[in-house]
Amino acid sequence: MTQDTAGGSDEARDGGADGTSTSGSRLSKTLTNWSRRRRQRRRTLSPLTLRILAVNVIALLIPIGFLFYSGPYRDGLIDAELEAMRDKGKLVAAALGETSVEATRTGRQFINPIIARDIVRRLSDTPKLRTRLFVINGEQIVDSYQVGKGGIIQVEMLAPPVMHEGFWDWALGLIEWGIDWLPTREKLQPYREAASPRATHYEEVIRAFSGDMIGAVRTGGKSGLVLSVAIPVQHYRRVVGAVMLSQDATEIEAAIRDLRQKVVTVFGLALVITILLSVYLAGTIARPVLRLAAAAERVRRGHGRESQQIPDFSSRGDEIGDLSSVLREMTDSLHERMDATERFAADVSHEIKNPLTSLRSAVETASRLKDSEQQKQLMAIVLEDVQRLDRLITDISNASRLDSELSREEMGTVDVGRMLMALVEVESGTASDSELEIELDLQGDAALVVVGSESRLVQVFRNLLGNAASFSPPGGKIQVMAKEREGLLEVIIEDAGPGIPEGKLAAIFDRFYTERPEGEKFGTHSGLGLSISKQIVEAHSGSIVAENRSEDGKPGAGARFTVSLPTE
């Protein structure tokens, strides 16, 4: 059957021949890890935090940048201002055409400059708007910025008082300086003020002499832009001059500056909020990840279980929570695997020591014996111990490779009914000498099939049949029954042996559990059979259970093993 775990473990550490090289490589690795952890502690912001912050700030800067590059907004203000100037110019031109145009005796029409100057002065109610009148010969005869007889007094708009520049003014100035370097939509002509202005200096005035009303935008002035419109002065549908209205785009630039200041204010607040939210968001991601990384590092370096606990973030309900749960499960599995490896090593050490001790005793005794018969008996013991060692090492090798081999096994459809028929037939042939009776009962009309590895399932049922045959008395009966119930295929194997000792129903599946039938030679079984069988069944998502049979309410009628395998 199977075997109980025996204590005892051997630890061996082999030192390399090149001890200096090994120590140097370990020291180098330790210093590298220490340096990396020290850099991580010094780092105020993690790379993940910086990336999240950069992405959010760049996403905020893109629309803000387009808003600062306010070409369409500026163009809209300029068009609206030109339209207002055009309406004002039409009013002035209509008044001039009705009141200031006179005719000579020959019928030639001309504009009376005295009357025109008075009309322009009366209608120029906006100091910022400069009104000039050009006659057909190109001469400028009226200028609202020139007052007094003959226009000897020149009027000039004063710049607004300069206030002490604060941080916002400095910031806006820096932004505007940068915007000035950006390419504009069109190249504007510079505005030049001639000492004696004539109509030929202004294209819009020349066009107005032809009856057109157009506006122009030029660079210059205090704000950097000068707006102008020219309106023809007509008398009885005849063009006698042109009115030119011009102004510095101070209000437009002030509106744009005000907009930019508001944008900067909103951007500053949005930037602060974005940074705070980005740091918070990155913290909710980076801090747990760093804690998980530190915990994983402790698992890699640690020796105690308490220092290897992975933080539990499963309550977050997100990907980091899933990662935390998976890492915790992985760590638990790792610890279980380490415990299993340690127990396996201890069991192997114990099981190998027994035949080795027997071999050593036999060899030492044989060297002192002179009797050939006694020497033959000792040599027989030595041979049995060698065979036992061979079987034990083979079973240990198979058990140690079982996990990796099961992971590579190709799964397919297995007809368990046909498999049991073949195994029962083979076992019946080998058990004929002991007059064992093996009875097979396949219940149901449908084929009993599962998905799995046929060779491994054969190994399971062959081992169970072999155990049943070993513990059954001569002339005993072994019953094998297979049936499908509630999505599971159940295979039950019963024998008529002495049964399983009380309290050992679970222990018999431990490695190296030893419970030999009467009369069996010691060392015939390694005690790994049922342990391997359970491992194979669980790899197929099934279960194997052992129990004692009872007959007429009395225990001791034999053992029963039930293997349950999913049919899907």
The highest-level CATH class for domain 319-407 is mainly alpha
Out of 3.30.1330.20, 3.40.718.10, 3.30.565.10, 3.40.50.2300, the CATH code matching 409-566 is 3.30.565.10
In the numeric block, which tokens belong to residue 2? 């199977």
Domain range list for the chain? 69-153+165-248, 319-407, 409-566
Spatial strand order of the sheet with 224-235 comes to 140-143, 130-135, 238-248, 224-235, 214-220, 189-190
Query: Which ranges of 431-473 does DSSP label H, i.e. alpha helix?
Result: 454-471
Query: What's the first-to-final CA gap in the chain, in angstroms?
Result: 30
pLDDT for position 57: 82
pLDDT for position 140: 93
- The 10 Å Cβ neighbour count of residue 335 is 13
User: Which residues of the chain have a pLDDT value below 70?
Assistant: 1-45, 63-70, 147-186, 302-308, 350-351, 399-401, 403-404, 407, 431-434, 512-527, 552-556
Cα separation, 33 vs 49, whole angstroms: 23
- What is the CATH architecture assignment of 69-153+165-248? 2-Layer Sandwich (3.30)
pLDDT for position 504: 79
pLDDT for position 199: 92
Q: Are 362 and 385 in contact (CB under 8 A)?
A: yes
CA distances 560 to 147, 507, 566, Å, are 126, 15, 20
Q: Identical fold at 319-407 and 409-566?
A: no
pLDDT for position 175: 64
Q: Are 439 and 478 in contact (CB under 8 A)?
A: yes
